[in-house]
């Protein structure tokens, strides 16, 4: 029996997460052929941590009304972006994605603390799940805005975002 590879090209063997706090939230151990598992990962709280990170990136690309529900188109964009990443870096694109998500999420944020009309900002740590969610959102939003009404395709912009993160 042959090993499971993403899009028939990229292996899940030898991948690692550099940030120890994100190991439980970036799922690269679940091996898939294509990022379309039809899993119900929002039924219970924290179940989305079991969703493969590539599929979470695909789902995040399906935003802004006109792209809702077009998962096959989002999968094609990811496939082209991974091809570009492989050509430019000569490394496994799944590892590049995992590193980009680990590097992109904010570690510290500020919240509003106030009583009796006086509001001040207080620095707080960010949970690992929010870091992963925010990183995926920021990567896809940056690629989408960079590609909008430009000559560069969204796959090229997403590849640039993932490599430079």
Residue 152 is predicted with a pLDDT of 94
Supply 117's token pair.
């009309």
Supply 92's token pair.
């496994």
Residue 1 is predicted with a pLDDT of 53
CB 103 within 8 A of CB 124: no
Give CA 81 to chain center in angstroms: 13
pTM for this predicted structure: 0.89
Please provide the size of the chain in residues.
165
Residue 100 is predicted with a pLDDT of 95
**Nearest CA-CA partner of 19 in 134, 151, 128:** 128
Phi-psi bin for 105: left (phi > 0), alpha (psi -120 to 50), beta?
beta
Q: How buried is residue 35: exposed, middle or buried, by Cβ count under 10 Å (0-12/13-18/19+)?
A: buried
Residue 39 is predicted with a pLDDT of 83
The residues near 14 (Cβ < 8 Å, ≥ 6 apart) are 92
pLDDT digit string (tens) for the chain, length 165 residues: 578 899 989 999 999 998 899 999 998 888 889 889 888 888 898 888 999 999 999 999 998 888 888 999 999 999 999 999 999 999 999 999 999 999 998 888 888 887 767 888 889 899 999 999 999 999 999 999 999 999 999 999 999 999 998
Give the separation between CA 2 and CA 66, rounded to whole angstroms: 39
């Amino acid at each position: 029996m042959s090993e499971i590879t993403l899009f028939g090209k990229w292996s899940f063997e030898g991948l690692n997460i550099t940030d120890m706090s994100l190991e439980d939230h970036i799922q690269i151990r679940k091996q898939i052929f294509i990022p379309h598992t039809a899993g119900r990962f929002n039924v219970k709280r924290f179940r989305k941590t079991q969703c493969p990170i590539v599929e979470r990136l695909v789902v995040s690309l399906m935003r802004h009304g006109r792209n809702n529900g077009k998962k096959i188109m989002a999968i094609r964009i990811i496939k082209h972006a991974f091809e570009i990443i492989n050509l430019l870096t000569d490394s496994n694109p799944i590892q590049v994605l995992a590193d980009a998500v680990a590097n992109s999420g904010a570690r510290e944020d500020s919240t509003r603390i106030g009583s009796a009309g006086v509001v001040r900002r207080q620095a707080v740590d960010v949970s690992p799940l929010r870091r992963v969610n925010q990183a995926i959102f920021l990567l896809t939003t940056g690629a989408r805005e960079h590609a909008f009404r430009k000559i560069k395709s969204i796959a090229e912009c997403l590849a640039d975002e993932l490599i430079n993160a």
